[in-house]
Amino acid sequence: MTLDIPQAALFRHKLDGFAEYRLNADQRWWFHKRELPDGRVLYLHPQLLGNLRIGISPNADADWFDQTYCFHDQDAAWRAALGWDGEGDPEGWHRHHQTGRRRPDGTAESEYLAD
């Protein structure tokens, strides 16, 4: 489940995340980081061409991701990073690296498994 994030809060988090990322680029590679209810850690970080990725680490000490979701839509990525509870899949992603699943328009209805 993903909570509804008001547009003003979304804008504030995006601005703060980008500013912190730019000011601390030598120590920080993510825009947003938070612990999920089950103890896993969610990171929202940039990719090439303006895409964003959510990476899920098993705990705060891990330096790898168990799950990664790529997003073309930056607002969808931020909404998932801020409001997703970690159960099932977040909303709005287009590629899940570990399974090869794709969602061209970000919806479950469009999902297919890439060869």
pLDDT per residue as tens digits for the range 58-91: 998 888 999 999 999 999 999 999 999 999 999 9
Total residue length of the chain: 115
For the chain, the straight-line distance linking the first and the last C-alpha, in angstroms and rounded, comes to 28
pTM given for the model? 0.87
Amino acid at 83: G
Cα separation, 61 vs 39, in Å, equals 11
pLDDT per residue as tens digits for the range 14-49: 888 888 888 887 777 889 999 999 999 999 999 988
Cα separation, 72 vs 114, in Å, equals 17
Of 75, 72, 64, residue with least CA distance to 98: 64
